[in-house]
A = this chain, B = another copy of it.
Amino acid sequence: MPSQEPVFEFPIHFESDGGDGGRHRRTRRLHEQLRAAILDGRLAAGSTLPSTRRVAAGLAIARNTVIAAYDLLVAEGYVVPRPGAKAVVADVATRLQARSAPSVRATGDARINPRWRQTQTYTSSSRALPPRSFRLGVPDHTQFPHAVWRRLMAQSLRTWSKTAFGYPPSQGIPVLREAIAKHVAFARAVACVAEDVVVTSGAQQAFDLLARLLVTPGETRVAVEEPGYPPVRAAFAAAGATLVPMPVDDEGLQVEALPPGVRVISVTPSHQSPTGAALSLRRRMALLDYARAHDAVIIEDDYDGEFRYGGRPLDALQTLDREARVFYVGTFSKSLFPSLRKGFVVVPAWARENFIAVKHAADSHCDTTTQSVLAAFIRDGHLARHVRRMRGVYAQRREALLEGIERELDAWLEPIPSEAGLHLAVRIRDPAQAERVIAKARQHTPGVQSIAEYAALPVQAPALVFGYGVIDAEEIAPALRRLRKALESSAL
For A351, what are the chain B residues with a Cβ–Cβ distance below 8 Å?
Answer: 109, 111-112
Q: Which segment, of A180-188, A270-278, A361-369, A481-489, faces chain B?
A: A361-369
Any B CB within 8 A of the CB of A385: no
Distance of A165 Cα from B146 Cα, bound (Å): 12
Known: A204-B364, A212-B238. A158 touches B150 (CB 8 A): yes
Chain A 408-438 interface mask (CB, 8 Å, partner B; 1/0):
0000000000000000000000000000000
- Is there an interface contact between B364 and A213, defined as CB atoms closer than 8 Å? no
Known: A339-B369, A341-B365. A112 touches B149 (CB 8 A): no
Any B CB within 8 A of the CB of A138: yes
For A217, what are the chain B residues with a Cβ–Cβ distance below 8 Å?
Answer: 113, 217, 240
- Tell me which residues from 124 to 163 in chain A have a Cβ below 8 Å from any Cβ of chain B: 124, 126, 131, 138-141, 144, 146, 149-150, 153-154, 157-158, 160-161, 163
Known: A353-B121, A354-B112. A363 touches B205 (CB 8 A): yes
Any B CB within 8 A of the CB of A299: no
Chain A 271-297 interface mask (CB, 8 Å, partner B; 1/0):
000000000000000000000000101
One of B111, B215, B238, B369 near A361 (C-beta < 8 A): B238
Q: Which segment, of A90-98, A166-174, A392-400, A458-466, faces chain B?
A: A166-174
* Chain B min CB distance to A151 (Å): 10
> Taking CB as reference atom, which chain B residue is nearest A336?
B165
Distance of A191 Cα from B126 Cα, bound (Å): 32
For A364, what are the chain B residues with a Cβ–Cβ distance below 8 Å?
Answer: 201-202, 204-205, 231, 341
- Is there an interface contact between B111 and A263, defined as CB atoms closer than 8 Å? yes
- Is there an interface contact between A214 and B167, defined as CB atoms closer than 8 Å? no
> Taking CB as reference atom, which chain B residue is nearest A142?
B164
Known: A105-B353, A153-B153, A357-B120. A141 touches B113 (CB 8 A): no
Chain A 79-110 interface mask (CB, 8 Å, partner B; 1/0):
00000000000000000000000010100110
Any B CB within 8 A of the CB of A440: no
Any B CB within 8 A of the CB of A473: no
Known: A122-B360, A146-B157, A208-B363. A165 touches B338 (CB 8 A): yes
For A163, what are the chain B residues with a Cβ–Cβ distance below 8 Å?
Answer: 141
- Is there an interface contact between A235 and B361, defined as CB atoms closer than 8 Å? yes
Any B CB within 8 A of the CB of A29: no
- Tell me which residues from 212 to 233 in chain A have a Cβ below 8 Å from any Cβ of chain B: 212-217, 220, 231
- Tell me which residues from 356 to 398 in chain A have a Cβ below 8 Å from any Cβ of chain B: 356-358, 360-370
Any B CB within 8 A of the CB of A234: yes
For A205, what are the chain B residues with a Cβ–Cβ distance below 8 Å?
Answer: 362-364
Any B CB within 8 A of the CB of A189: no
Most buried by B among A114, A163, A339: A339
- Is there an interface contact between A234 and B295, defined as CB atoms closer than 8 Å? no
- Is there an interface contact between A112 and B362, defined as CB atoms closer than 8 Å? no
For A362, what are the chain B residues with a Cβ–Cβ distance below 8 Å?
Answer: 204-205, 208, 362
> Taking CB as reference atom, which chain B residue is nearest A173?
B339
- Is there an interface contact between B368 and A111, defined as CB atoms closer than 8 Å? no
Distance of A181 Cα from B437 Cα, bound (Å): 46
Cβ contacts A to B, 24 pairs, < 8 Å: A109-B351, A109-B354, A111-B214, A111-B351, A112-B214, A113-B212, A113-B215, A116-B213, A126-B167, A140-B165, A149-B157, A153-B153, A153-B154, A164-B470, A201-B363, A201-B366, A205-B362, A208-B361, A231-B364, A339-B365, A341-B363, A341-B367, A362-B362, A369-B370
